[in-house]
Amino acid sequence: MMNKLVAVLVAVLFIAGICLAADKKLSDDSISDYVRLRLSGDPDVKGGALDATCKAGVVTITGTVDTMRQKDKATKLAKKVKGVKEVVNNLVVKEKTGGK
């Protein structure tokens, strides 16, 4: 009987902790980290060399990408991160040189 009571108490505390953590506001550093992870993990953006900073929920993305499509997708990915209020996309699209 005591084991069941302890198990129920632990489960209630665990669920309460999850609920409290869900309401917790993310820090700017955490938001920046999550945006960088999302960009670097995307096969289209290939954002391993991109940087993201955050201040008051406003994320600024910097770096260089190959195409406009990558730049646009980076904005969409960053906006999906919890805590992001706005995205400033300062990515530069490489100019294609030479060839036809």
Q: Taking CA 99 as the corner, what is the angle to CA 98 and CA 100, rounded to the nearest 5 degrees? A: 125
Rounded to two decimals, the pTM is: 0.71
- Beta-bridge mates of residue 58: 55, 86
Distance of CA 3 to the CA centre of its chain: 41
Answer whether 89's CB lies under 8 Å from 33's CB. Answer: no
pLDDT in tens, the chain (100 residues): 666 544 544 545 556 555 555 557 889 999 999 999 999 999 988 877 899 999 999 999 999 999 999 999 999 999 999 999 999 999 999 877 765 5
Answer whether 61's CB lies under 8 Å from 55's CB. Answer: no
Q: Where are the alpha helices (DSSP H) in 1-100?
A: 2-23, 28-41, 68-79
Domains and CATH numbers, the chain: 25-93 (3.30.1340)
